[in-house]
Amino acid sequence: SHRTADGTPDRHGGAATDAREAPAKRVTHWIGGAAVPGASGRQGEVFDPATGAVAARVDLATPAEVDTAVAAAVAAFPAWRDASLTKRTQVLFRFRELMVAHRDELAALISAEHGKVRSDALGEVARGLEVVEFACGIPHLLKGGFSENVSTGVDSFSIRQPLGVVAGITPFNFPAMVPMWMFPVAIACGNAFVLKPSERDPSASLLMASLWRQAGLPDGVFNVVQGDKAAVDRLLEHADVRAVSFVGSTPIARYVYETGTRNGKRVQALGGAKNHMLVLPDADLDLVADAAVSAGFGSAGERCMAISVVLAVDPVGDELVAKIVERMARLTVGPGDDPDADMGPLVTRAHRDKVASYLDTAVTEGAKLVVDGRDTPVKGGASAAETPGFWLGPTLVDHVRPGSAVHRDEIFGPVLSVVRVASYTEGLEIINGTEYGNGTAVFTNDGGAARRFQNEVEVGMVGINVPIPVPMAYYSFGGWKASLFGDTHVHGTEGVHFYTRGKVVTSRWLDPGHGGVNLGFPTNG
Ligand code: NAD
């Protein structure tokens, strides 16, 4: 894999720099209800991917600064856990309204640091808000069961209680939505939360923190520590952190899962992906081509649910490739704040170069480079390769061999591969033979074939004529195999389960006719 758990080599670049360099916008921590500048002297560079310029510097926390944030959460927890369900939901409803009111501002921040186009950033905010809306129903979700007379005069009931301080560690590709998969549910359940956002695009976290404060969330219930591996490692070993939700690449997800569980924490760690779209010969090829282009190049392919491989069952390959090429030619590549742009730049120079290197790999491996994104004009001007900033246009590679690097690796950029297969069975075997199991889709008009696929495919999220089958907030999001470590998916009822512990109470009220001492194992009667 491209990344080891000790953090080297770093495929994104953006190495930590000395804080005494030229001042730019500074992104701080948020601890105990206020912005707190870091004191470590270590900062990371945040780029404007459209120009390549350093747009901000983000403070990188020391272990001691993580401890301060966790201590603020520990202090805030008892009162928040005892706040009534009514009080908690009122805060959530107000947070939801404030997020709606500030969604353009949030989308602009995301777009400026990540590079994705504004409409896509707004979509990310909308999907995150669905989880906030789901969490507004927490009183219903926390209801327990009650059984009268489990034994004569004895009742039994179950309750779910918050864990305490829980942490979220999130990736660059959804700086608002992925944190929102976690903290609305965790906070609604009565926990205090420490977020460690991606250091590539950290600003969205601070806007959300200030909106929580305006919504009336008590100080210390939601905290943000900016940082890198040093902050993550401290969260993973801190005795007061009870649970960790992680989303990011597979090597780090595995590391977080192993380290966190070794330290006695509950961990859900979502990893990388390589999502295949299986196109059966009876499918509507115009629908398929629209879906493949949207799902392959939306957000420049930097989505864990992006489609990166089209499995074209014979004989549709040539016709489908022609339809995809036709649609790719109509895409406009440009900065995220350009309303005409369909696709923006990649997140960093290092990531852009790594993605682009797969174009040469593809040729070396004997595949056919049908559309070379290095030649794509940016805003109708110079080519992607010649424009300052982290640009690479939509790229199509045909006749990719199953098991080759281009097929196997998570490229995480605007590179769509086509693999030609002879049958449904060959396509299914390729999907089930990959390391990952996040998302997949089948395109067909045959209900029986689709039903067989949903049954046989070893993937956590399946689309039937739907290319990016991201579950709604009231279902749970998560993949199989190397796409998720742990057994609990995020949000939905699994999220509520993850952020709470069950307790069963068995109670008897004053009964003078009790049976006296009895050393036998309690049975019902
Ligand atoms: P990443 O693994 O590099 O970083 C994720 C988080 O881990 C960041 O907060 C980062 O600071 C931290 N981190 C990085 N290196 C570390 C190390 N050595 N030790 C401890 N912590 C470390 O991921 P990314 O590049 O930010 O995001 C892209 C990846 O996330 C892709 O692989 C994508 O598929 C995956 N992703 C998965 C899902 C999903 O639901 N399965 C969703 C979104 C993104």
Atom 15 of ligand 1: nearest residue by CA position: 7
**Per-residue confidence (pLDDT) for residue 520, from 0 to 100:** 85
Q: What is the pLDDT of residues 22-39, one digit of tens each?
A: 558 999 999 999 999 999
45 conformational bin, left if phi > 0, alpha if psi -120 to 50, beta if neither: beta
Q: Which pLDDT tens digit goes with each residue over 63-118?
A: 999 999 999 999 999 999 999 999 999 999 999 999 999 999 999 999 999 999 99
Gap between the Cα atoms of 125 and 132, Å rounded: 11
Kindly tell me if the per-residue pLDDT of 407 is higher than 90.
yes
**pLDDT attached to residue 525:** 65
The pLDDT value recorded for residue 225 is: 98
pLDDT of 12 reads 40
Of ligand 1's listed atoms, the one at least distance from the Cα of 351 is 25
Any atom of ligand 1 within 6 Å of the Cβ of 5: yes
259 lines ligand 1 (CB under 6 A): no
* Cα separation, 261 vs 412, whole angstroms: 28
Q: Is the CB of 170 under 6 A from ligand 1?
A: yes
Percentage of the chain modeled with pLDDT above 90: 91
Q: Which residues are catalytic?
A: 304
Q: Give the pairing of strands 25-27 and 53-59.
A: parallel
Q: What is the mean pLDDT of residues 364-377?
A: 98
Segment 185-213, tens digit of pLDDT:
999 999 999 999 999 999 999 999 999 99
User: Is 271 close to ligand 1, i.e. is its CB under 6 Å away?
Assistant: yes
Residue whose CA lies nearest to ligand 1 atom number 35: 248
Would you say the CB of residue 171 lies under 6 angstroms from ligand 1? Answer: yes
Produce one character per residue of 434-455: b if its CB has 16 or more CB atoms within 10 Å, e if not: bbbbbbbbbbbeeeebbeebee
> What does the pLDDT read at residue 512?
62
Question: Is residue 397 pLDDT above 90, yes or no?
Answer: yes
Q: Mean of the per-residue pLDDT values for the chain?
A: 95
Lowest-confidence pick of 2-16, 253-267, 297-311, 352-366 = 2-16
Strand-strand pairing, 154-162 and 500-508:
antiparallel
Could you report the per-residue pLDDT of 253-309, keeping only the tens digit for each?
A: 999 999 999 999 999 999 999 999 999 999 999 999 999 999 999 999 999 999 999
Q: Whose CA is nearest to atom 19 of ligand 1?
A: 229
Nearest to 442 by CA among 469, 418, 422: 469
380 pLDDT tier (thresholds 50, 70, 90)? confident
482 CA to middle of ligand 1, Å? 13
Looking only at the bridges linking them, the beta strands covering 25-27 and 17-18 are unpaired
Residue nearest ligand 1's atom 26 by CA: 171
Q: From ligand 1's centre to the CA of 4, what distance in Å?
A: 12
Mutational test site, ligand 1, from 4, 178, 247, max ligand atoms within 8 Å of CB: 247
134-139: average pLDDT: 98
Atom 22 of ligand 1, residue of closest alpha carbon: 229
Measured from the CB, is residue 229 less than 6 Å from ligand 1? yes
Cα 28-30-34 angle, rounded to 5 deg: 110
Check if the interface score ipTM surpasses 0.90: yes
Q: How far apart are CA 361 and CA 367, in angstroms?
A: 9
Return the ligand 1 atom nearest residue 228 CA: 11
Distance separating alpha carbons of residues 99 and 51, to the nearest angstrom: 29
Residue 454 pLDDT > 90, yes or no? yes
Residue 510: both structure tokens together: 């004053």
More confident residue, 16 or 453: 453
| CB of 297 closer than 6 angstroms to any ligand 1 atom | no
Q: Identity (one letter) of the amino acid at 141?
A: L
Residue among 228, 434, 491 whose CB has most ligand 1 atoms within 8 A, to mutate: 228
* pTM for this predicted structure: 0.94
Residue 8 has pLDDT above 90, yes or no: no
- Ligand 1 pocket, 172 CB below 6 A? yes
Q: Is residue 241 over pLDDT 90? A: yes
Residue 20's pLDDT is: 46
Q: Indicate if the pLDDT at residue 511 is higher than 70.
A: no
Of ligand 1's listed atoms, the one at least distance from the Cα of 479 is: 41
